[in-house]
Amino acid sequence: MLIRPATGDDWRWLWPLWRAVVAAGDSYTYAPDTAKAAARGLWMLQPPAEAWLAEDGPDRPALGTYLLKPNHPGPGAHVANAGFMVSPDAQGQGIGRLLGLHCLERAREIGFLAMQFNAVVSTNAPAIALWRSLGFDTVGRVPRRSGIRSWAWSTCSSCTAGSENTAMRRYPGPGSRPARGGVRLGTPG
Ligand SMILES: CC(C)(COP(=O)(O)OP(=O)(O)OC[C@H]1O[C@@H](n2cnc3c(N)ncnc32)[C@H](O)[C@@H]1OP(=O)(O)O)[C@@H](O)C(=O)NCCC(=O)NCCS
């Protein structure tokens, strides 16, 4: 298996994989009916973002992919964010782990100090197990809300010893108190 940078031409291989994963609606917040061109614009981002592709010869041109990018611009650009997709018919064969390891190494190589995933769906057992095994810690959990089918987790990991980041979130909830402008903020649980 080869993991290499994805080019614009590779979208024809990546699109069926991307569509299958996103249409399932259980791992990403992209709209499940995102059209091909719009999806390309979401995944094949301009630098400093990088899309990578795992292939196994011409018969299996897109086993998986990852997107590596700054989680925030400017002073927050030292923390990376990444998204991963393995073709449904190739999941559970170790490709996600190889992509994860490759992505962490690549992030270090190009100077990121940490990596944060903003919303890993709590029911996504393979993803949570994989990220934990690669050293990610869960730093918070978004409460389940009516109409939302699962919780989402936020995770973060240091790529480099000595670098730390903290993700903080606050949500309305029982015991909330009014804030300026009439917005209600939850109290720490
Ligand atoms: C999550 C995903 C990237 C993992 O890739 P994968 O190739 O299926 O995973 P791997 O085969 O490398 O397995 C890695 C680890 O995941 C865990 N895992 C895999 N399948 C699992 C399952 N069904 N249940 C629980 N854990 C599982 C195991 O801990 C495994 O570690 P091991 O090597 O010790 O067995 C892939 O399943 C995928 O693309 N899912 C849909 C999109 C997605 O969820 N992306 C991530 C969003 S945060």
Flag whether 32 is in a domain.
yes
For range 14-27, the mean pLDDT:
95
Q: Which atom of ligand 1 is nearest to the CA of 85?
A: 39
Flag whether 172 is in a domain.
no
pLDDT at 156: 53
pLDDT at 59: 81
Flag whether 165 is in a domain.
no
Average predicted confidence (pLDDT) for the chain: 81
Cβ of 84 below 6 Å from ligand 1:
yes
The whole-model pTM stands at: 0.85
Measured in degrees and rounded to the nearest 5, phi and psi for residue 148 equal -100, 130
Q: How far is the CA of 96 from the centre of ligand 1 (A)?
A: 6
Tell me, what CATH number does 121's domain have?
A: 3.40.630.30
d(CA 33, CA 22): 8
For range 82-104, the mean pLDDT:
96
Quickly state the pLDDT bin for 73 (edges 50, 70, 90): very high
pLDDT at 130: 92
Cβ of 79 below 6 Å from ligand 1:
no
| Radius of gyration of the CA atoms of the chain, in A | 18
Whether 63 contacts 86, CB under 8 Å: yes
Flag whether 129 is in a domain.
yes
Nearest Cα residue to atom 31 of ligand 1: 130
> Structural domain tally of the chain?
1
Q: Directed axis angle between helix 11-24 and helix 36-43, to 10°?
A: 100
Q: Provide the b/e sequence for 27-53 (b: ≥16 CB within 10 Å).
A: bbebeeebeeeebbeebbeeeeebbbb
pLDDT at 144: 61
Flag whether 177 is in a domain.
no
Cβ of 130 below 6 Å from ligand 1:
yes
DSSP string of 28-57, one letter each residue: --S-TT--HHHHHHHHSPPTT-EEEEEE-S
For range 68-84, the mean pLDDT:
93
| Pairing state between β 79-86 and 114-121 | parallel
Q: Which domain holds residue 107?
A: 2-158
DSSP 175: T
Flag whether 171 is in a domain.
no
Q: Which atom of ligand 1 is nearest to the CA of 27?
A: 44
Flag whether 84 is in a domain.
yes
pLDDT at 188: 39
Measured in degrees and rounded to the nearest 5, phi and psi for residue 27 equal -135, -25
Q: Which residue has the higher pLDDT, 28 or 177?
A: 28
Given a cut of 50, is residue 168 above it in pLDDT?
no
Residues in the chain: 189
Q: What is the pLDDT of residues 95-152, one digit of tens each?
A: 999 999 999 999 999 999 889 888 888 788 899 899 989 988 887 776 665 555 555 5
Given a cut of 50, is residue 169 above it in pLDDT?
no
